[in-house]
Structure formats: C-alpha cells, structure tokens
Amino acid sequence: MEAVNPATGEEVETYETQTEEDVDDALDRATDAFDEWRARPLREREELLEAAGDVLRENKREYAETMTREMGKPITQAVSEVEKCAWACDHYAEHASAYLQPEHHPSPSGSTVKTVYEPIGPVLAVMPWNFPFWQVFRFAAPYVTAGNVGLLKHASNVPGCAKAIEDVFREAGYPEDVFQSLLIPSDLVDDIVEDDRVRAATLTGSGPAGRAVAATAGENLKKTVLELGGSDPYVVLDDADLDAAVETGAWARNQNGGQSCIAAKRFVVHEAVYDDFLDRFVEEIDSYVVGDPMDEETDVGPQAKPSLMDELHEQVEESVEAGANVALGGEPMDREGAFYPPTVLTDVPEGCPADTEEVFGPVATVYEVSDEEEAVEKANDTQFGLGASVWTEDRERGERLARQINAGCVYVNQLVKSDPRVPFGGVKESGYGRELSEVGIKEFLNEKTVWVE
C-alpha cells in the first residue's frame, strides 16, 4: 500500500498489505480483546480515552504532518483536526457514564424495569481519507468507550495515518487489540462484514461504497451506520449579514481543499443581494493562498489524489458545456501536484453534474432565487440531505426555514460542522444513523430491557 504526496507526486512510504490470514488472526484477537474489554469498569475505559486525548495533544504536530504528507491537507487545518480529535476524547471521557446510565421505565408496583446499555463486540469502521484522524476518532471515541472493540479499514491512500492512530491507543495504554488498523484493500471488506466475529459496521465515504457495505451487512442481519456524501445548500436571504455570510461561506466551501461531506456546495442567494454577494464571494475566494500544504500560510492545498482532481475537472467541464459560467478558476493549475484552483460557477443549468452530483473539491455553484419559497425549493432539490446553512438576521425566520429543509442538520448564521456534543448524520442518500453525542454512542449497543418482578 503506497502513500503518495499529492502536492509533489512523490512516494511517502510503502506499507505491506495484510492478507486474508492476517485478517483472520486480527478478528480472533479482537474477539479475545472484547471479552476482557467489556468487563472493565466504564470509568477505566473513560480514563484510557482521556489518556488518548493527551497523546493526541502531545504529538499533534507529528500526526498533522502525517496527514498533510499523505492527503495534502494544509498543515494548520491538520493541527486543528488533531485538536478536535482530542476534544472528542475529552467529551466522551467526561460524559460516557452519564450517557450510558440505565434508563428506568414506568412499571407495575413491586417490579423494576429498566434499559441497560451493553456493547455488542467488534465493530468494523470503513473510513475515508478526507479527515483521516477525525473520522476515525468520531467512531472510536464513543463506540470503543462503550465497550466495543474497533477494527479500522482506512482508505488506501492514508496508511500512515491508520498506523499512527493505532499507535495513539497503544501509547495511551489500551490493552492490545482493542483497536486495530487493518491495511487491506476494499475487496476484503465484504468477507469481514460477513464474518460472525464482527457484529456491526460503519462507513463514511461515497454512496457506492456505502451501498456495498450495507448490502452485505443486511444479508447478514448486522446493523450499519452510513455517513455518505452531501451537496449542502447555503441559503443567503435578503436580510443576511453579508460580510459574515461571504466570509464564512467562502471558507465553508474551500477549507480542506473543498473535500468535505458537509462543505457548503450550492449557494442559494436571494436576488436582492445576489450581485453584491457574488462580487464579494469571488473576491474573498480569490484572496486564498493556494500552494504547499506544509506552509503555514496556505489556505488551500492540493486535491488528495490526482484521480479525484481529474473527476472534479470533468464535472466542471461538463457543467460548462451545459451552459454554466465560470466566474473564477475552472482549469487545473499549471504546476506540479494535484492542484485545482478555487472555482466559482454561476448560471448553473439544472441537471448538469455541478447541479446534481456531489462536487468534492473547491468548486462553488451560486444560484439566484427570487424569494424564500424558491430558496427552500432549490435547497431541497438534491438527492442528498446531510447539512444546510441559512443566513438571515431574523432568527425566527431562520428557524422556520431550518424546519423546511430536508437535512440531518441545519445551521442558522453558521457553517455546518460536526461537534461531539450534537448528533451528526444525514437523510436521503447522505446515509442513516447518527454519530457523536448521546445518540451516537448508543448506535452499536444492545439496549437491553431488564424486568425484575
């Protein structure tokens, strides 16, 4: 398994891919580890998670550089990502006990009825490269603390991150095999999902990958949580604070090289402010520093893989052929590495790729709408339903619109973000199930009713 630096095209390191026999052995070890791990008091599991947070903070520069080398994330954003992982560890170290308190139910006099929360066993996580630490900690911090054991199949282009994450748990003092990274190609995933020793699976990534894992899990009656793509609308109403809407919107589209499921992708702007918004939006985005992701000054690095950049450019070209107008960018940069410039498209015709598909890179589409009703219609005109953002100075109006948008979360006067304290996940083709918060930690547990007469 070869890690290649997308900023230079140079090989970072080559790792030996694990075989089917290695996987079989890993599953045996996960099963043994589970027996011991589930029996540990929850308080001890919380303390180990707290230690994992400390390990992350102590080594944040090193982990950030591993990410930047393997997938091109600008270094300052990589450091923030490690800090956010530590925050998720702190959060569950502090709150897991409260989240997992038995719940008492009304019951006939003389009997006690409650729900207790018990772990189910090894859980497989198939994870993507775009937030190579965060996506994994979002899985591991709650589910492993709840008493499950974790098996990670990370994306093939970030093997160094996969190994580094395994090391975080080791250094924090976790028992061996409570968290294992499997360096395997995706064609071994089906067998793992089918295996009796694995009790559930979660995947963050594309629709086809999610469907494949969910189909096999369904055949085997195993639960899945899927966090798939998004084409999040960013609605700017006539009474929005334009300074804030422009600055936040530009960043919401371009941070992480635009490679985020919850990035603002379709900008739906009221006609009363459209021209003003567009001018300032283009100017703001044009001011970003695109370049070496190891440079602290860089805002936008390369795309994570050359193939992804090619696919992104195809989406832009097809949309332009269909009639879209390029207000900024639009051609791969004439330099070494997978660099695509921040791009803005307007007059985007209905049905073209930039209108209907997930655009996983720094390409914004801007639409003009004549009123609130049309704004909601455009916001909902997508197969996806992950997040949405609405901008208005009238908080009640914002909340009213939030209720009309079909998405897993709507943020008013804020960009969409994941936060350990609140549930995260989508509807429609963005997937199902929720991660984070109390809801997330309970996804892979046996919610057992205990009735004592």
Binding site for ligand NDP (CB under 6 A): 126-128, 130, 153-156, 185-186, 189, 204-206, 209, 212-213, 227-229, 261, 308, 358, 360
Choosing from 261, 284, 357, 409, the catalytic residue is 261
Which residue's entry shows tokens 């998670």?
49
By C-beta, is 139 or 274 nearer to ligand NDP?
139
φ/ψ of 153, rounded to 5, equals -110, 100
- 368 phi-psi bin (left φ>0, alpha ψ -120 to 50, beta other): beta
Minimum CB separation of residue 151 from ligand NDP in Å reads 12
Minimum CB separation of residue 244 from ligand NDP in Å reads 26
- 95 phi-psi bin (left φ>0, alpha ψ -120 to 50, beta other): alpha
Minimum CB separation of residue 209 from ligand NDP in Å reads 3
By C-beta, is 220 or 446 nearer to ligand NDP?
220
By C-beta, is 130 or 392 nearer to ligand NDP?
130
Minimum CB separation of residue 202 from ligand NDP in Å reads 11
By C-beta, is 265 or 280 nearer to ligand NDP?
265
Minimum CB separation of residue 4 from ligand NDP in Å reads 13
Minimum CB separation of residue 387 from ligand NDP in Å reads 11
CA–CA distance, 236 with 138 (Å, rounded to integer)? 30
Minimum CB separation of residue 416 from ligand NDP in Å reads 12
- 291 phi-psi bin (left φ>0, alpha ψ -120 to 50, beta other): left
Minimum CB separation of residue 62 from ligand NDP in Å reads 23
Please work out, in degrees rounded to the nearest 5, the angle formed at the alpha carbon of residue 366 by the alpha carbons of 260 and 299. Answer: 45
Q: Active site includes 357?
A: no
Please work out, in degrees rounded to the nearest 5, the angle formed at the alpha carbon of residue 257 by the alpha carbons of 255 and 261. Answer: 75
Q: Active site includes 352?
A: no
Contacts with 335 (C-beta within 8 Å, 6 or more apart), sequence order: none
By C-beta, is 204 or 224 nearer to ligand NDP?
204
Task: Choose among 174, 212, 232, 219: nearest CA to 378.
Answer: 232
By C-beta, is 127 or 290 nearer to ligand NDP?
127
Residue 23: how many CA atoms within 13 Å on its side-chain side?
A: 24
- Whether 367 and 268 have beta carbons less than 8 Å apart is answered as yes
- Whether 132 and 155 have beta carbons less than 8 Å apart is answered as yes
CA–CA distance, 434 with 426 (Å, rounded to integer)? 8
By C-beta, is 121 or 205 nearer to ligand NDP?
205
Minimum CB separation of residue 407 from ligand NDP in Å reads 14
Choosing from 46, 166, 227, 368, the catalytic residue is 227
Which residue's entry shows tokens 């929850």?
42
Task: Choose among 346, 410, 423, 418: nearest CA to 376.
Answer: 410
Burial 239-252 (b: 16+ CB within 10 A, else e): ebebeebbebbbbb
CA torsion angle 70 73 74 78 (round to 10) = -90
By C-beta, is 139 or 391 nearer to ligand NDP?
139
CA–CA distance, 42 with 28 (Å, rounded to integer)? 23
Please work out, in degrees rounded to the nearest 5, the angle formed at the alpha carbon of residue 335 by the alpha carbons of 330 and 339. Answer: 50
Which residue's entry shows tokens 């009304």?
106
Structure tokens at 78: 């990589």
By C-beta, is 376 or 407 nearer to ligand NDP?
407
Active site residues: 227, 261
